[in-house]
Amino acid sequence: MEELKDVRSGGNMLEKLMRKIPGFGGYLDRERRRDADKLQREFLARETIEIKKRLQDIQEELLANGNLSLMTKLDRLGNRLDRVSERIRTGASGYAAFFEINQVNSQELDRIYEHDLAMLTDLEDAKAACASLQTAVECEDNPGARVNDLQKLINQLDEKLNERERILKGVS
């Protein structure tokens, strides 16, 4: 994540000079917050799409083996992942207002970053659940239960995304 490091550093001479111009420092800070938020959302969206791709591979394997019993559930889960990914990637109205403020309260920023970290953890758990589902399909060891586990994790992620939007809008 070299881009994120670039967003954080911003220590070149031009920026140091421009920080001395009234109002410009706040502008730079806002731009960095926006850039960091965008990078974070793009990363989370890519991770979500990666889970969907793995899910599609599992569906293909099930189809090849003639096992159609989970296809409807997996299709719905894939559609849900698409919606979650799109919501993550595009953000929500209210984000702009949050990042427009010259100085964002550090506690609010910490809360957002903590929330983003929790979403990343949920995605890691969902990847593990996807791997567990793959193993269950290969071993014919109750893959339906693994689909349910993955569905719960995606539901958690979706709820965390709702909460993130509420935080950014100042509702929570």
Residue-number span of the structural domain to which 12 is assigned:
2-169
Helices (H), the chain: 2-9, 13-19, 24-64, 71-90, 95-100, 106-139, 143-169
- What whole-number distance in Å separates Cα of residue 82 and Cα of residue 72? 15
Looking at residue 131, its amino acid is A
Contacts of 78 (CB under 8 A, 6+ apart): 52, 55, 56, 59
| Dihedral sign from CA coordinates of 88, 105, 124, 149 | negative
Q: Tell me the pLDDT tens digit for each residue of 4-57.
A: 455 455 557 766 766 676 666 666 666 777 788 888 889 999 999 999 999 999
Quote the pTM value. Answer: 0.75
Q: Burial letters for 93-128: b for 16+ Cβ neighbours within 10 Å, e otherwise?
A: eebeebbeeeeeeeeeeeebeebbeebeebbebbbe
Domain count, the chain: 1
Q: Tell me the pLDDT tens digit for each residue of 19-33.
A: 676 666 666 666 777
Taking residues 64-68, report their average pLDDT: 87
